[in-house]
Amino acid sequence: MKSIKFLLVFVGSLVAAQITIEKNTPSQAPANASVSIELGNATGGAKGIVLPWVTDIAGLIAPVPGTLVFDTSTQKIKFSRSANSGSLVISSWVDLSDGAAPPLVNSLADANPENSLAKALVGGNPDTDVTMGVLVLADTDKAMVLPRVNSYKDIVNPSAGMMVYVTSNHQLAVYNGREWSFWKP
């Protein structure tokens, strides 16, 4: 029953191409028209988003710049970028876990490998968008708002590959399965 209710809400949300998840204040509406998907409340919470786990970045099918993954072989959160503006070719993967302690184990096994045919597409045309990914935000004029927390310590049991925005010090926090790394613009 919960699955059917979620599916109905999710499909209904796709029509408007704006989605909020786990947001309850001040309303269910996104912060503004530039938001494609908003996760959590602006005032903070105690949950994060867990990125897709991949065992081999080189084996990803047609990734594009802007792809975020948790690499289980190195236990690092990685972001893909291109060398040239507007290019769809990845020139490098940036380690967002830089500075975190080395993993406790050499690699994490992924008991739930990705079904390459499964994806949720927001703001795009499923007949023409061939971008591979678990969740593809195809809007060219909207952004995603990460889950916000007052402190990363508010997350009692973080999962490897988790990301949040820490509102108290305006930092992006990523968890590699052992410890948090922080990025500040």
**Measured between alpha carbons, how far is residue 146 from residues 11, 24, 38, 106, 117 in Å?**
21, 15, 7, 29, 25
Predicted pLDDT of residue 53: 85
**Longest pairwise C-alpha distance within the chain:** 47
Report how far residue 20's alpha carbon sits from residue 18's, in angstroms, rounded to the nearest whole number: 7
pLDDT tens track for 36-89: 777 777 777 788 888 888 888 888 877 888 888 888 888 888 888 888 887 888
Q: Which DSSP symbol is given to 165?
A: E
Rounded average pLDDT over 146-174: 89
Domain ranges of the chain: 2-183
pLDDT tens per residue, range 75-131: 888 888 888 887 888 888 988 887 777 666 655 665 655 565 666 777 778 788 777
**What's the whole-model pTM score?**
0.70
pLDDT at 6: 42
